[in-house]
A and B are shown apart, each in its own frame.
Chain A
Amino acid sequence: MYNGGKILLGILIFLALATFPFYNNIGKADVEPKPSIDTPAIQKLSEKKCIEPTAFMKAEHMVLLNEWRDLAVRDNNRVYVAGDGKKYTISLQNTCMKCHSNKKEFCDKCHNYAGVSPYCWDCHLAPKEGK
């Protein structure tokens, strides 16, 4: 091989980059997140359901929250009519977080796991926990 040293150095750099995900995870246990819905407010509910079905909330909650922001802040509309006809007040702090008062055990679990950093808390006050 000609210029063998440089070629091998290049190959080593390539291998180090290409296999990074593999050796980076050696010895690290991957714990899948289990968001907790165990809060006093939820325990009191007779029927433990969110404003929309769980599957919808899981996939579309960020879209819903974005719509809520636009409705509340831009259109001054504070009433959300859910799929089953029930009416809810559009408010992150007073509706969502009233039940899900455990941001760290609920929101952050999946968000941290998947590397999602929602900018809700740039404006909203994060709920006080553990006090």
Chain B
Amino acid sequence: MGALFSFVVVILLILIAYVGVAAVGMQSIFGTVVPYAAVLIFIVGVVYRVIKWGKSPVPFPITTTGGQQKSLPWIKQAKLDNPSGSAGVIGRMALEILLFRSLFRNSKSELRDGRLAYGSAKWLWLAAIAFHWSFLIVLLRHIRLFATPIPSFVSLLENLDGFLQIGAPRLYLTGVILLLAVTYLLLRRFYVPQVRYISLASDYFPVFLIVAIASTGILMRYFFKVDIVSVKELAMGLVSFNPTIPAGIGSIFYIHVFLVSILFAYFPFSKLMHAGGVYLSPTRNLANNSRAVRHVNPWDYPVKVHTYDEYENEFREKMINAGIPVEHSPAITPEEEEKLTEPTDDAEIPVGKE
């Protein structure tokens, strides 16, 4: 249901852009207003979300991560899994962000001959890392449309990406890998029953959107051949705040730009914010130093307490009447207090012991 809904939404978005450009001729809307609005929403939205997260207190040091924490000198610490200082945390975070270490530990469980069996499951990790790195390289390659002169690292990326020299224009490997990986991630949601069960429209929509973005990009580069010089003129106009709409750019370009704009605008309000959220994961960014450093709950507020002494003062009479032992005898009068100063302890000490 969620899948169908998301699919229909993405198709509608494509149609909106196509009709808007090809039939109505609103190139300036789809080539200028929409991208500007999307980038603005993206930047403001991401900052807003991160500040909102920053305002949330971390009540506990969550140290229940895998591996041996720092202990006695002869016990080997798992320094990357369970770091005790900032350097280790940075290492753990880098492994998480660059190599998806948590996902690498993904496991699957199944019933085998009536017994529960666990095994490693690396396909999700493989598809995820292929997808994310390809996406990053594809994104960085696009800098060639937004900068004159083009930074050398972009040209280097292009040459590496197209080093197989297949066809002309050269086939970029990342484009293919991106599309294959995201297709795997989509099919996984369709065919693995457990994943299908927990998949919602908000899971399917970004995947369909990215499939559509990658497909339009590939179509535009290898098949429909939009005029890249005009495209760069448009892009450069956008980033230099001097927007121009060169004539003769195919509708597929505007569809691509519209879908990318939707992705950017959708980003801060969706699961895609895991890009920022991963840095704020308490099990990744907190050192396990709970034995060495006291974590003060910043969330503490003055709690109204009622101590046992106060409780007993309130109910002493009733407790004595009911035969419940009390810490202190009935409210002490000044005369009794004088007697008590003599060194005889009251009858509260259990008899028989010692």
Contact = CB atoms under 8 A, between A and B. Distances in A.
Interface stretch (A7-15, A42-50, A75-83, A85-93): A7-15
A86 B225 CA distance: 25
Interface string A6-39: 0100110011001111101110101111000000
A114 interface: yes
Interface in B27-47: 39, 42-43, 46-47
A21 B143 contact: yes
B54 to A, nearest CB: 4
A117 B159 contact: yes
Contacts of B148: 25, 28, 30-31, 113
A66 B229 contact: no
A32 B232 CA distance: 9
Interface residues of B, number: 43
Interface string A99-122: 000000000001001111111000
Nearest to B54: A7
B233 A4 contact: no
Given A14-B276, A19-B43, A25 B146 contact: yes
B51 A7 contact: yes
B321 interface: no
Range for the number of chain A residues in contact with chain B = 35 or more
B47 A14 contact: yes
B236 interface: yes
A62 interface: yes
A31 B55 CA distance: 46
Interface stretch (B8-16, B165-173, B338-346): B165-173
Interface string A39-67: 00000000000000000001110110110
B228 interface: yes
A1 B229 contact: no
Given A60-B225, A66-B167, A115-B158, A7 B239 contact: no
B195 interface: no
Given A7-B51, A60-B225, A30 B169 contact: no
B291 to A, nearest CB: 21
B55 A1 contact: yes
Contacts of A4: 54
Given A7-B51, A21-B147, A62 B43 contact: no
B155 interface: yes
B319 interface: no
Contacts of B58: 2
Contacts of A20: 143
B154 interface: yes
A94 interface: no
B298 interface: yes
Contact of A66 (B50, B168, B228, B239): B168
Contacts of A119: 165, 170
26 contacts: A2-B56, A3-B54, A10-B50, A10-B276, A14-B50, A18-B39, A18-B42, A20-B143, A21-B143, A22-B241, A24-B147, A24-B239, A25-B236, A30-B236, A31-B148, A32-B229, A32-B233, A58-B227, A59-B227, A66-B168, A113-B229, A114-B145, A115-B154, A115-B155, A117-B155, A118-B168
Given A14-B46, A113-B232, A114-B145, 7 more contacts: A15-B47, A30-B233, A30-B236, A30-B240, A63-B168, A110-B229, A116-B169
